[in-house]
Amino acid sequence: MRHHTLLPHTADTRLRITADSLEELFKGAVEGLSEIIKHGVTKKKSDASIFTEVDVTSRDVTALLVDLLNDLLARDVIEKAVFFDVIELNLEATSATAKVRGISVETFDEDIKAVTYHGAQIRFHKDGTYEVELVLDI
Amino acid sequence: MITEGNLKQIGPVEWEIPLSFRRDMRVPARFFASKSMLAEILGDRSLDQLVDVATLPGIVGYALAMPDMHEGYGFPIGGVAATQWPDGVISPGGIGYDINCGVRLLNTGIAQSEFAPFKEALARDLSQSIPSGTGQGAKMTLDFAELDAVLTQGVGWTLSKGYATESDITHTESGGRIDSADPSAVSDFAKKRGCGQLGTLGSGNHFVEVGFVEKIFDEEAARAFGLKLDQITILIHTGSRGLGHQVATDYIKIMLQALPDFGITLPDRELACLPFSSPDGQRYFAAMSAAANFAWANRQMITYRTREAWKRTVGNGDLSLVYDVAHNIAKVEEHKVDGKLSKVVVHRKGATRAFGKGFAELPEDYQRIGQPVIIPGSMGTASYVLVGAATAMEKTFGSACHGAGRLMSRHAAKAKQLGRDLQKELASGGIIVKSAVVRDLSEEAPYAYKDVDDVVNVIESAGISTKVARLRPLVVIKG
């Protein structure tokens, strides 16, 4: 189970993701980011025919999430694509690899400069869920 | 959260959060605002972020914020911080993701009445000839070798290709080029994001705005800047596009990894920083300088396209550059610290350099007046041209505000009014707005911003800069 919500922020956009596992949280974050970049894109799984592979090393798990999203964001812009469907994910304490499917696009709906680390902290709740809020610079 | 009770008023529009407020502060925090602005400022986290800035290793004087401040991430937007050179820190978060986002003002020499018949045609031409909006590519794609030349030479590259004049260079901050740029410090990812974006406006709050001089406050300075009442002017606001965004992303990550090696602990990861003199601090400065050069070349390419559109539609007028200022940048400058002239690294994040008269870098025509400080308002309201004053050197490391300052989130602004309704409302006031995506127009509606008149009045009351002219929009090409 994973879920993302958009929250207001004076200058930018705040994305909240909740999930019942760390892997789901990462997948939900990729979907949330992709939905902002191209509305409705995550409903097009059957069209997702291009692939990219991401390999990131970071200080901790929160930084891993931010770095992975920024890596995908750069690939989206460079390849004029939206990579939204994580089909393989290997998470370690300070490294992650992912294989992500996506679609080519003509235009984007939002020009996200970066996913920031501002106030980002993955939290584990007593009910077994994970949560993180990410501020996106738009 | 900071409350009014935590503030000490030290002047009619100057406030201080003393060193005693939080144990990790290295310097006090100061900001500029009228009493009536306080509630808005205290309503978001901008002052908490300013206190965070006051904890940066090597910060000198005060952590400063301008009256257009609002919550950012790490630094507040409208923030200024100077750190000791060479061993104080440099922080990419103190510059922002859109490195050298900035604004330039062109002067057409044409009166409003002479321009009126061509208004609609120019609006249409500009909207077609300047790539704007999300993901819109440039009319040219540079290979890495050519891109490296842009990153090294800045506006000089555009001059060599016939897209600029000598006068454009002398009327751009730093001559449109920072010498410390090194393209090898810029990642391939960043170059790939930038190679198809030279001469593009981008989206968000970026724009090209045709307006007119509505009021002159300082005849002498206006004359020096070539501004006359009723004259048509053009503002261009954009930055370093995806290339700059990626440079910031790359180096914030690098610096976060390296923080423990330097024993630096921070209240917010987005303040990631390293000593300016460290190898990665130097590489970031070289990459940031390259991105700044790209941004200046970008604004110059849009200037070229604007001049071409003007020739096709209006014909008359040479569209001379009044000045070009950076809003998001770090620079090594000399300022008085504890009464002694010292080299410092001045971070301006949503702040404009505002040097007074006699500053050697200024073009000869501005030497005895001071630097033009260009303050764009929101779409549909006024913009200002100010002139830098000596007081800015004493109080703000030679810095002023950069705009009206956001008041409302983009989401809330969009929810309040439909884009097409805003477009109609502005049209009824004589302002033509062209946008790649009309539904997003209300993100930048006037109600989403502070009152630019209030912001500029605070800057003038503080003696940081003084008013020269007020501009009113006629045509807005929104990114």
Give CA–CA dist B236/B214, Å, rounded.
18
pLDDT of residue B73: 87
Contact A77 B71 (CB under 8 A): no
Range of the domain at A28: 2-137
Q: Is A76 on the interface with B (CB under 8 A)?
A: no
Are the C-beta atoms of residues A46 and A18 closer than 8 Å to each other? no
Active-site residue identified among B237, B245, B327, B402: B402
Q: Is A15 on the interface with B (CB under 8 A)?
A: no
Alpha helices in A45-84 (DSSP H): 61-79
Q: Is A87 on the interface with B (CB under 8 A)?
A: no
Q: Is A108 on the interface with B (CB under 8 A)?
A: yes
The ipTM (two decimal places) reads 0.92
Q: What is the pLDDT of residues A1-58, one digit of tens each?
A: 899 998 876 667 889 999 999 999 999 999 999 999 999 999 999 999 999 999 999 9
- Cβ atoms < 10 Å from Cβ of B391: 16
From B134, B193, B408, residue closest to A78, measured CB to CB: B193
CATH number, domain containing residue A12: 3.55.10.10
pLDDT of residue A25: 98
Are the C-beta atoms of residues A91 and A85 closer than 8 Å to each other? no
- Cβ atoms < 10 Å from Cβ of B98: 28
Contact residues, chain A, for B72 at CB < 8 Å? 11, 118
Contact B410 A118 (CB under 8 A): no
- Cβ atoms < 10 Å from Cβ of B349: 28
Low-confidence ranges of chain B (pLDDT < 70): 135-136
Residue B175 zone, left/alpha/beta (φ > 0; ψ -120 to 50; rest): left
pLDDT of residue B135: 66
User: Catalytic: B335?
Assistant: no
pLDDT of residue A11: 62
Q: Which of B350, B404, B406, B377 is nearest to B470 (CA)?
A: B377
Q: Is B413 on the interface with A (CB under 8 A)?
A: no
- CB proximity under 8 Å: B 246-305 to A: 246, 248-249, 252-253, 256-257, 268-270, 272
Contact A74 B246 (CB under 8 A): yes
List chain B domain ranges.
Answer: 4-407+449-478
Tokens found for residue A84: 């939204």
Give CA–CA dist B158/B139, Å, rounded.
14
Residue with tokens 């300013």: B50
- The 10 Å CB-count burial string (b at 16+, else e) for A120-136 is bebeeeeeebbebbbbb
Say how many CB pairs under 8 Å bridge A and B: 98
Residue A58's closest chain B neighbor by CA?
A: B257
Contact B135 A10 (CB under 8 A): no
For residue A38, the 8-state DSSP code is S
- What's the structural domain count of chain A? 1
Q: 3.40.50.620, 1.10.1740.10, 3.90.1860.10, 3.40.50.1100: which CATH number matches B4-407+449-478?
A: 3.90.1860.10
Q: Which of A86, A48, A106 is nearest to B137 (CA)?
A: A106
